[in-house]
A and B are shown apart, each in its own frame.
Chain A
Amino acid sequence: MSTARPTLAGTGALVRFALRRDRLRLPLWIALGAGLVASQSVSSQTLYDSPAALVAYRDSVGSNAATIAFAGPPVGLSTVAGAVAFEISASVMLAAALMAMFTTGRHTRADEEAGRTELIRAGRVGRHAPLIAAVLVSALACVAMALAIGLVGTATGLPTGGSFLLGASVGACGLVFTGIAAVAAQVTESTRSAYGIVGAVFGVAFVLRAVGDINGSWLVWASPVGWAQAVHPFSDDRVLPLLLCLVATAGLVAAAMTLLDHRDLGSGLLPARPGPPRAGPLLGSPLGLAIRLQRAALIAWAVSLALLGAVYGGVGDAVETLFADNPQAQVFFPGASSAGLVEAYLATIFSINALLAAAYAVSSVLRARAEESAGRAESVLATATSRGAWLGSHVTVALLGSALLVVLSGAATALVRGLSSGDLGSFGRLFAASLAYVPAVWAVAALAVALVGLAPRIATGAAWGGVAYVVVVAMVAQALDWPGWVGDLSPFAWTPLVPIEAWTLPVAVGLGAVVLVLLAVGFGAFRHRDLSTG
């Protein structure tokens, strides 16, 4: 394959190879994006089948800061199609961003870290070829997802132009995160840290647009997710934000290429610093090792969740303002007080924080599986370390770490809410309320432990599937009008929405029992199976 620029030689072959490697993954991601839109389209058209239902919906949503915070700008709600875009765009954009991050990361830094890029680059392959091939594959996937969303939108009865514009906005979000992932892959030596950077950027971008959408401020324009949502499909049909996304993507990819030119293969931007010649006291036990391995990730999560909790605690005021400004809403929620709405909002915030803590807990449990498949567990288990102690060390970090995240984010939310409302006396009550979600978090983590013990080869995918399930149930199950039993399996569905609902001992005890059973299954199975590498 010859190309004009020698630094791009071999790009075509690498693109074909990457598509071959991802022939299952990418269609699944694209189907996920299209499936979410199709499901939302069908259920919204069933739910809001009369103008009156749509008006009621618009009034309730327009006054609900929690919904706006997690969905997007409340525009175009006078049509069902606009409601579909409002409800689902944030979830699909998250899916597109994750697809872009994993696709770009896997074909750049992950290959480089594993030494595969060295092998590839020793062939007739230009310096920029692996990076550009990864970007092209990710971009192709984004375009495919955009087209798929346009098609399913049209097929389920939404206006054609708007459907494809909605798809384009999702694809554009994916493109920007392709660029962000391309830059992150140049900066760090480890794939894990690169994903951490992209995740943090998405988190910041999401919070910026949430605050911007609630306050109607310019902050939306500081966020790539905000740009993508500013397309306003089915109402304003703006194209300019799409161009902004394309320009940003091009700039990011150019920056990644420049960074690549200024570093050695295998290294990041920061020079590797020497480590200590002797181990400190921490590295003397399996638990110490697990803490050391997971410390950086836990600190990053803790800071992010504390900030997120503080931001959402501070938005509590806007909930009251929106309610007071909206007479229809006061009709729609008969007997509701603004204080009650704030409580409902806080309950949503606490459960969202708990869902994020559950995601952390699963990633932390799966660290054990990653250690096993990389062969590092073998070195440790060949010493006087029992299987139980080894798995227990990672599980301890997962359970205590996720509890710490719930505590920190709950405390931050309660504190900032107390400060902004001038009622610091509410701190203790709100903080305690946030802790009600810990058993549900642990149940998701314990499921991951059981999977690691029982089915190591599929544990990673299955455990993340569990996280996706509880997130989908919590965020969209009601809007999607799924049968009740679908959601009843989620531990978050069992948990009362404290503080609007009362905490109950039986639920906490029941979830605790589930946690213990799953942990016992996981540890028991792990003690009795072969170690499985690769």
Chain B
Amino acid sequence: MDSAVSVSGLVKTFGATRALDGLDLEIATGEVHGFLGPNGSGKSTTIRVLLGLLRPDSGTVRLLDGDPWHDAVALHRRLAYVPGDVTLWPQISGGEAIDLLGRLRGGLDPARRADLLERFDLDPTKKARSYSKGNRQKVALVAALASDAELLIPDEPTSGLDPLMEAVFQENIREVRAQGRTVLLSSHILAEAEALCDRVSIIRHGRTEQSGSLSELRHLTRTSIAAETARPVTGLDSLPGVHDAAIRDGRVRFDVDTDHLDGVLRHLAAFGVRSLNSAPPTLEELFLRHYGDELAEDGVRLAGTDR
């Protein structure tokens, strides 16, 4: 089995709203796959379809070589889900909820449970009513991570966690990957995806915009260059792949398509480079370029798209 998740042409409508509009998603077994997109782009809807909680209108969906709608129970023994908005039973303690969810999934490892409670610094005797959002999220995370599930599906799992706990989460995901398990990590925190993911899919309006490894995607984006040269730089604008060049007082700033980096640096060297700063393309930049276009149409300017 090569694919843990295989989705193509997935469509899901709610009344007049087309939440998913032909979405494709391919996740290889053993990889950590980032599922990125802004709020309302269809990430959670996709996950609910993968869990058999929603029924797709059309398209094919395979999960762990099964049909998520018809084989839901059998598949759920092999996966663990962390909802984006964790709601727990107010009168049930965190420890009880962890055990309940673990048992319903088919058991959890008591030693790992104890270890996770300690690492996430979670008091299991508190009733869920008195937990903060972050602590409710920890309950769901401990229940999921203490299982032996082949596939983990955390939906924006760190949105309520502090930076320390985020680090603990990342550590755990790395351990999960080291064990050869698969992770579908839905997120809009790009630094997190960059730190953890082998491959990412970026979705918008219920459709997949980009999919690939981080280095593949970086290739599609631009590097920001700031240089100081001995002589004023000329002819930069005529080079292929250069954008938004600005020359002032012997300093030059521009963005360059990563494909054309080599040619541009050769050109620059002829003017006597005294200092050079290059900002590697981040996922954030990629993200902003994808969605920034749309925001710019609406009159919103983003810092990241100006450069």
Contacts and interface: CB of A to CB of B under 8 A. Distances in A.
Interface residues of B, number: 42
A26 to B, nearest CB: 28
Q: Chain A at the B interface: mostly helix, strand, loop or mixed?
A: loop
Interface in A263-314: 272-280, 283-286, 289, 292-293, 296
Contact of B93 (A275, A379, A386, A531): A275
Contacts of A384: 73-74, 76-77, 104-106
A277 B88 CA distance: 15
A245 B247 CA distance: 83
For this complex, into which size category does the number of interface residues on chain A fall?
Answer: 35 or more
Given A274-B127, A279-B98, A382-B83, 10 more contacts: A272-B129, A278-B96, A283-B100, A285-B103, A293-B89, A375-B87, A378-B48, A381-B52, A383-B106, A384-B105
A116 interface: no
Nearest to B100: A283
A374 B100 contact: no
Contact of B100 (A113, A279, A386): A279
A275 B125 contact: yes
A374 B90 CA distance: 11
Contact of B125 (A276, A292, A382, A387): A276
15 contacts: A272-B127, A272-B130, A274-B126, A275-B96, A277-B95, A279-B103, A284-B103, A286-B104, A289-B100, A296-B91, A378-B48, A378-B83, A383-B76, A383-B105, A529-B55
Given A276-B93, A279-B95, A374-B87, A531 B53 contact: yes
Given A189-B129, A531-B48, A380 B96 contact: no
A275 B130 CA distance: 11
Nearest to A289: B100
B226 interface: no
Interface string A476-497: 0000000000000000000000
Given A376-B87, A383-B76, A384-B73, A277 B101 contact: no
A382 B99 contact: no
B209 interface: no
Contacts of A531: 48, 53-54
- Which residue of B81, B83, B101 has the most chain A CB atoms within 10 A of its CB atom? B101
B105 A277 contact: no
Contacts of B53: 378, 381-382, 530-531
Nearest to A376: B87
A277 B125 contact: yes
A273 B130 CA distance: 10
Interface in A488-534: 528-531
B124 interface: yes
Kindly list the 7 A-B residue pairs having the minimum CB-CB distance in the complex, ordered from nearest: A275-B93, A279-B99, A383-B104, A274-B125, A382-B81, A277-B95, A279-B96
Contact of A375 (B74, B85, B104, B125): B85
Contacts of A296: 91
Interface in B209-267: none
A190 interface: yes
Interface string A355-387: 000000000000000000011101111111111
Nearest to B51: A382
Interface string B81-125: 101011111111111111111011110000000000000000011
Contacts of B90: 113, 189-190
Nearest to B78: A384
Contact of A275 (B52, B76, B95, B101): B95
B127 to A, nearest CB: 5
A375 B95 CA distance: 19
A380 B127 contact: no
B90 to A, nearest CB: 6
A275 B79 CA distance: 28
B124 A277 contact: yes
B140 interface: yes
B165 interface: no
B83 A375 contact: yes
B168 interface: no
Interface of B: 48, 51-55, 72-74, 76-77, 79, 81, 83, 85-101, 103-106, 124-127, 129-130, 140
Contact of B104 (A280, A378, A385): A385
Nearest to A189: B129
Contacts of A376: 87-89
Nearest to A279: B99
A530 B68 CA distance: 13
Contacts of B126: 272, 274-275
A292 B106 contact: no
Contacts of B86: 379
B140 A379 contact: yes
B95 A386 contact: no
Contacts of A277: 93, 95, 124-125
Nearest to B117: A277
Nearest to A382: B81
A274 B51 contact: no
B99 A379 contact: no
Contacts of A530: 53-55
Contact of A380 (B52, B55, B104, B106): B104
Nearest to A190: B90
Contact of B83 (A275, A289, A379, A529): A379
A274 B105 contact: no
A401 to B, nearest CB: 18
- Which residue of A279, A383, A385 has the most chain B CB atoms within 10 A of its CB atom? A383
Contacts of A528: 55
A276 B96 CA distance: 7
Contacts of B74: 384
B87 A278 contact: no
A156 B101 CA distance: 60
B69 to A, nearest CB: 9
B106 A274 contact: no
Contacts of B124: 277-278
Contacts of B101: 379-380, 383
B227 to A, nearest CB: 50
A276 B127 CA distance: 9
A522 to B, nearest CB: 18
Contacts of A275: 92-96, 125-127
A171 B52 CA distance: 50
Interface in A147-177: none
Interface in A9-27: none
B92 A278 contact: no
A216 B60 CA distance: 74
Contacts of A189: 90, 129
A363 to B, nearest CB: 17
A300 B82 CA distance: 34
A376 B139 CA distance: 13
A197 to B, nearest CB: 16
Given A276-B96, A289-B100, A381-B53, A386 B87 contact: no
A289 B88 CA distance: 12
A418 B293 CA distance: 83
Contact of A274 (B89, B92, B93): B93
B87 to A, nearest CB: 4
Nearest to B76: A384
B93 A283 contact: no
A385 B100 contact: no
A528 B83 CA distance: 22
A39 to B, nearest CB: 38
- Which residue of A113, A375, A384, A528 has the most chain B CB atoms within 10 A of its CB atom? A384
Contacts of B93: 274-277
